[in-house]
Amino acid sequence: MIAIVKQSASPEQLDQFVSWIEARGYRTNVSRGDNETIVGIIGDTTKIDPFLLESLDIIDQVQRVSEPYKLANRKFHPEDTIVDCGHGVLIGGGHFQVMAGPCSVEGDNLIEIARAVKAAGATILRGGAYKPRTSPYAYQGMGEEGLDLLLEASAELDMPIVTEVMDPRDVQVFVDRKIDIMQIGARNAQNFNLLKEVGKTTTPVLLKRGLSGTIDELLMAAEYIMSEGNPNVILCERGIRTFETRTRNTFDVNAIPVLHHLTHLPVVGDPSHATGYTRYVKAAAFAATAAGADGLEIEVHNCPQEAWSDGAQALVPTEFADAMRRIALIREAITAELE
């Protein structure tokens, strides 16, 4: 249930209202926007009489919210959330950012790739140090040594890094090492213990949609993180499994505007995992940008044929630079003020 508070209400009246609700055993989420303040009431609200609340002087309107996700719900929080990724980089609410880098951190080539993606306009460096692989015999990642390389590149280039955390026991390591953004991969999108663990931190989380996850399941995964106290969630559409076999996954471009409608959280598109083949990555990146994504995550490798994972979908730096110039033009087209 949400209560929309009148503009005329004083901060003291708002505090009194919140205490009154909380004294009845509910949790609250107060969202102060430029035009309105909304109090989200969380718990079994079937016992609350909405007419009684509406009769209070400071309340404008009360609405029941049927969706099970509350904190991620745009009804509770009409304004776009802007996540601070560190190093002065903001995402969401009109701030568009591109995360780029290799699938896996492999060694000394990381800095070379990082310099190239930064020169092309990427603002966040990606790279996996812990890799979720379908086969236990496939390359599993460099682990902490990989984090070291990412952190060195981050310091040299003054750019935030995003890297996957797979195990709840590693979350504290990521926090201690001051990793800017923790990625939750598609295979862990419903690993509720991991979601809760990253929810206990304030580190931004890039949450990927599950392999066969619905939009509502993605929102509920975000709710797991947010309900533990971490509001800094960025959602990622990375393609879903369908009957189509010509591409690695099927890019659900629809999910981008649908998510913007349902949630205030930033939404990023990942055209690399969504398509699985270098030849389609640019087209999907352009589509995601045109659909209003707040950012992109793109795999880039200096020598894709030698990559330790996902070489088949990597762009080389020159292709990435070309894509970035066209993405900037698409951004201009969709954000232009027209007469």
Does residue 273 bind ligand PEP (CB under 6 A)? Answer: yes
- Which of ligand PEP, Mn ion, none interacts with 185 (beta carbon under 5 to 8 A by kind)? ligand PEP
Helix (H, G, I), strand (E, B) or coil at 27: strand
Strand runs labelled E in 81-143: 83-84, 90-91, 97-101, 124-126
Q: How far apart are CA 76 and CA 74, in angstroms?
A: 5
Does residue 222 bind Mn ion (CB under 5 A)? Answer: no
Q: Which residues pair with 100 in a beta bridge?
A: 125, 298
CB-based contact 168:194 (threshold 8 Å): yes
Of residues 77, 208, 264, 301, which one binds ligand PEP by CB under 6 A? 208
Q: What is the DSSP letter of 81?
A: P
- Strands in 37-42's sheet, in edge-to-edge order, are 27-32, 37-42, 2-5, 59-63
Q: How far apart are CA 299 and CA 102, in angstroms?
A: 5
Does residue 103 bind Mn ion (CB under 5 A)? Answer: yes
Does residue 314 bind Mn ion (CB under 5 A)? Answer: no
Does residue 288 bind ligand PEP (CB under 6 A)? Answer: no
Nearest 5°: CA angle at 213, between 211 and 216? 160
Shortest Å distance, C-beta 315 to ligand PEP: 14
Specify the stretch interacting with ligand PEP by CB under 6 A; choose among 70-78, 165-173, 179-187, 252-260. 179-187
CB-based contact 314:110 (threshold 8 Å): no
Place of tokens 């609340």: 53
Q: Which of 297, 263, 208 is nearest to 81 (CA)?
A: 263
Rg of the Cα atoms in the chain:
21
Does residue 310 bind Mn ion (CB under 5 A)? Answer: yes
Q: Which of 122, 98, 103, 128 is nearest to 273 (CA)?
A: 103
Closer residue to Mn ion, CB minimum distance, 58 or 103: 103
Shortest Å distance, C-beta 10 to Mn ion: 52
Specify the stretch interacting with ligand PEP by CB under 6 A; choose among 112-120, 180-188, 220-228, 252-260. 180-188
Does residue 238 bind ligand PEP (CB under 6 A)? Answer: yes
Of residues 98-127, those binding ligand PEP (CB under 6 A): 103
Closer residue to Mn ion, CB minimum distance, 70 or 248: 248
Ranked by CB distance to ligand PEP, the top (closest) residue is: 185
Does residue 276 bind ligand PEP (CB under 6 A)? Answer: no
Does residue 132 bind ligand PEP (CB under 6 A)? Answer: yes
Closer residue to ligand PEP, CB minimum distance, 40 or 128: 128
Q: Which residues pair with 237 in a beta bridge?
A: 269
CB-based contact 102:150 (threshold 8 Å): no
- Which of Mn ion, ligand PEP, none interacts with 208 (beta carbon under 5 to 8 A by kind)? ligand PEP
- Which of ligand PEP, Mn ion, none interacts with 102 (beta carbon under 5 to 8 A by kind)? none
Does residue 186 bind ligand PEP (CB under 6 A)? Answer: yes
Q: Which residues bind ligand PEP (CB under 6 A)?
A: 103, 128, 132, 185-187, 208, 238, 273
Q: Which residues bind Mn ion (CB under 5 A)?
A: 103, 310
